[in-house]
Amino acid sequence: MEHQIRDYYTDDEPGWLTCRLQAFLDTAYFDDVRRQKESYSSASIELVAVCNDTVVGLLDIERMTTDTQNLGMIWHVATYPSYRRRGIAKDLLHEATARAREMGMLRLEAWTRDDAFVNDWYQQMGFKPISAYYHIYATAEEIKRTGIITSTVKGVHPATSYIQYVGQDKEFLKQFKRVHECRRYDLDLQDE
């Protein structure tokens, strides 16, 4: 079945949310559930891949301007699981990079966790690894055992926590059951 790459329309929101949810369920982002699609304060590229009136892929990029550079931040890229390996994400990225260049973006930045198939895809698409840090999801038992979080407010007892760790102590990380490496990739749009 052929897919069509087109702009996202507000009527696509239910399909966009379903596609993103289904695509993330078998990844390290399985619990990053959205109830509505966010809108962006800066100029953006919001694309969907549609097959038989169903959203089967999506890609959102927001333009971010720094003092030295105009870049695009990839906030979402996903393909419905049963439509993977058909070139949908590649086609979305191809259209998005063309539009990003037209908007004067010099590079695209993307962050992802440690799912091998996702990281492999970014590298196959020409993205270069830049940096990484860790996401720790601490349970109540881990918080109590490690003392990583305490509260000075009477009656407040941390039950779970999401923590960003920028250190490199692997022994420290072994204290927690759920740890993900969050990796940054860049695609230089001036190279092509």
Q: Domain for residue 74, yes or no?
A: yes
pTM as predicted: 0.91
Last residue of a domain, one of 105, 140, 164: 105
First to last CA, the chain: 30
> Are 66 and 99 in the same domain?
yes
> Are 100 and 168 in the same domain?
no
**Whole-angstrom distance, CA of residue 111 vs CA of residue 7:** 23
Q: Domain for residue 76, yes or no?
A: yes
Q: What is the distance, to the nearest Å, from the Cα of residue 184 to the centroid of all Cα atoms in its chain?
A: 10
Tally of domains within the chain: 2
- pLDDT in tens for each of the 192 residues of the chain? 799 999 999 999 999 999 999 999 999 999 999 999 999 999 999 999 999 999 999 999 999 987 788 999 999 999 999 999 999 999 999 999 999 999 999 999 999 999 999 999 999 999 999 999 999 999 999 999 999 998 899 999 899 999 999 999 999 999 999 999 999 999 999 865
Distances (CA, A) of 6 to 17, 45, 58: 16, 10, 10
pLDDT tens by residue, 117-165? 999 999 999 999 999 999 999 999 999 999 999 889 999 989 999 999 9
> Are 2 and 95 in the same domain?
yes
Token pair, residue 65, equals: 């301007």
Q: Are 60 and 76 in contact (CB under 8 A)?
A: yes
What is the three-class DSSP state of 66?
coil
| CATH number of residue 56's parent domain | 3.40.630.30
> Are 18 and 98 in the same domain?
yes
> Are 6 and 76 in the same domain?
yes
> Are 160 and 77 in the same domain?
no
Last residue of a domain, one of 70, 105, 140: 105
Q: Are 70 and 109 in contact (CB under 8 A)?
A: no
Q: Domain for residue 120, yes or no?
A: no
> Are 16 and 75 in the same domain?
yes
**Whole-angstrom distance, CA of residue 116 vs CA of residue 119:** 5
Q: Are 75 and 60 in contact (CB under 8 A)?
A: yes
Q: Domain for residue 72, yes or no?
A: yes
Last residue of a domain, one of 105, 139, 164: 105
> Are 141 and 99 in the same domain?
no
Q: Which domain holds residue 64?
A: 1-105
> Are 21 and 76 in the same domain?
yes
Dihedral sign from CA coordinates of 182, 56, 19, 62? positive
Q: Domain for residue 69, yes or no?
A: yes
> Are 80 and 137 in the same domain?
no
Q: Domain for residue 180, yes or no?
A: yes
> Are 6 and 43 in the same domain?
yes
Q: What is the pLDDT of residue 66?
A: 79
> Are 7 and 96 in the same domain?
yes
